[in-house]
Amino acid sequence: MSAFAGTKGYSEQAPALFERYERLSFEASHGAIIGLIPKSGRAIGAGTGRDAAALARRGHHVVAVEPTAAFRKAAALRHPSPRISWIDDGLPDLRVVTALGAAFDFVLISAVWMHLDAQERAQAMPVVARLMARGAVLAMTLRHGPVPPGRLIYAVSPEETVRLASQAGLRCLMNTNENAKGYANLQAGVRWSRRVFYR
């Protein structure tokens, strides 16, 4: 069982959620930021493996951080690549990733930040910033809207996110708000904020 409280509900719903998330391509989900992603280097990003695989195809060596075992195992099977290392770790501490001693050129935190409470978010941002190389990019998507049954999701303020990033030495490059792209989230009235930061 994962030690990360924010993963509550994901193991039980993993098979259905995995297929649902895989239906939307990396380009459809993150097209707005593709021009800001470094062309190669070291990257962090995981989820169902869709994003990790897309970054690997772009020339990155990806550390795919996923604390939910069901997602991590399914993702590694769906998206095998010698450029992807799958790691059982999670925010706010990222202890395993930090212990690698690596500096990353791109960090993708997509649909994750809302699983951290206010104290965890304040703790996590400087941890993430310290993992970034000089000139690295951090891309985040923040979920707003109704909470699905059985999940642990907190209200996240885009303004708070920008403030925490600024305090950690990051500069905001992109600040946008978007409708959900997946049918279920769109029908539920879910909206997203996208924030991109530069170190």
- Which tens digits make up the pLDDT trace of 126-139? 999 999 999 999 99
**Residues 6+ away with beta carbon under 8 Å from 68:** 2, 7, 10, 11, 14
- Of the pLDDT bands very low, low, confident and very high (cuts 50, 70, 90), residue 60 is very high
- Which tens digits make up the pLDDT trace of 9-27? 455 555 566 677 788 889 9
pLDDT on residue 183: 46
pLDDT on residue 1: 31
Q: Is the pLDDT of residue 80 over 60?
A: yes
Q: What is the DSSP string of the chain?
A: --S-GGGTTHHHHHHHHHHHHHTS-HHHHHGGGGGGS-SSEEEE--TTTHHHHHHHHTTEEEEEE---HHHHHHHHHHS--TTEEEE---TTT-HHHHHHT--EEEEEEES-GGGS-HHHHHHHHHHHHHHEEEEEEEEEEEEESPPPTT-------HHHHHHHHHHTT-EEEEEEEEE--SHHHHHHT-EEEEEEEE-
pLDDT on residue 148: 72
What pTM was computed for the model? Answer: 0.88
Regarding predicted confidence, which is higher, 192 or 9? Answer: 192
